[in-house]
Amino acid sequence: MRNTRHHVPSNRPERAVAVGRKPLTVPEILELEAALMEVFVTIRELRERSTAARYIKFPPLPSILSESIAIAITPTLFGADWKARYGGSAADVLIENLATRSLLRVEVKATGRHAFQELKEKDLRADVLIWFRFGRRLELGAGEIEVAIIESPGRYVPRQCRLDVRRFEAIAGIREAQKLFRFKSLAAMLAPLATGVRGTPIKLGNVAG
């Protein structure tokens, strides 16, 4: 990735980017995940009992959940010098290197098992794409969470599209480009020392971290 800074347009001062919007706290993130588990488990059990229940769809994961997680674990994924905040109109999240003042635009996605995700033009223009993959965790009430990080996603996905993880990873160059982390639980992911993580902080191209 080229070593450049991105700035919020001058008519939208950086300090005003996230006015009126705050990420969830760690307890709120965990409470929301527990609530989602109840919903997913209920739908799964209904499907097991009733053939007609197959028409009930699992809900999409709220963006406030995935974005709040991304903000909370930025130092774990990128290194201690990086800090995140909401990006307003510029991106889902902005991450800044406190040492170099480099600012990167981050788009955030989250899916469960077999869930499709739409990659829009804004996602493809981002410096970094973060994709939280919960797998069957919400349905079963337990399981690992995979976090994929892709620099310059537009380099691999030329246009807006809708796809799942399998189709995404079938795109030429994606498997080699994406960095993967695996966490044993959301609580472990959000712990101060990120216990249960398999992976090391991402080094973003030539940007010092």
Evaluate whether residue 44 is within a structural domain. yes
Domain that holds residue 64: 24-198
Over residues 159-208, the pLDDT tens digits come to: 999 998 989 999 999 999 999 999 999 999 998 755 445 455 555 543 33
What pLDDT shows up at residue 8?
A: 42
Q: Specify the 3-state DSSP secondary structure of 166.
A: helix
**Residue 18 lies inside a defined structural domain of this protein:** no
- What pLDDT does 193 receive? 54
Residues contacting residue 33 through CB under 8 Å, at least 6 positions apart: 65, 138, 186
- The pLDDT of residue 196: 45
Asked if 93 and 86 touch (Cβ cutoff 8 Å), the reply is: yes
Tokens of 54: 């197959």
- Whole-model pTM: value is 0.83
Q: What is the pLDDT of residues 121-163, one digit of tens each?
A: 999 999 999 999 999 999 999 999 999 999 999 999 999 999 9
**Number of folded domains in the chain?**
1
- Residue 11 included in any domain: no
Residues 59-76 as b or e (16 or more Cβ within 10 Å = b):
eebeeebbbbbbbbbbbb
The reported pLDDT for the residue numbered 116 is 84
Cα–Cα distances in angstroms (integers) from residue 144 to residues 27, 186, 193, in the given order:
19, 8, 17
What per-residue confidence (pLDDT) applies to 5? 43
Cα–Cα distance between 32 and 149 in angstroms, integer?
23
Q: Is residue 13 part of a domain?
A: no
pLDDT, tens digit, 9 for 90 and up, residues 25-51: 999 999 999 999 999 999 999 999 999
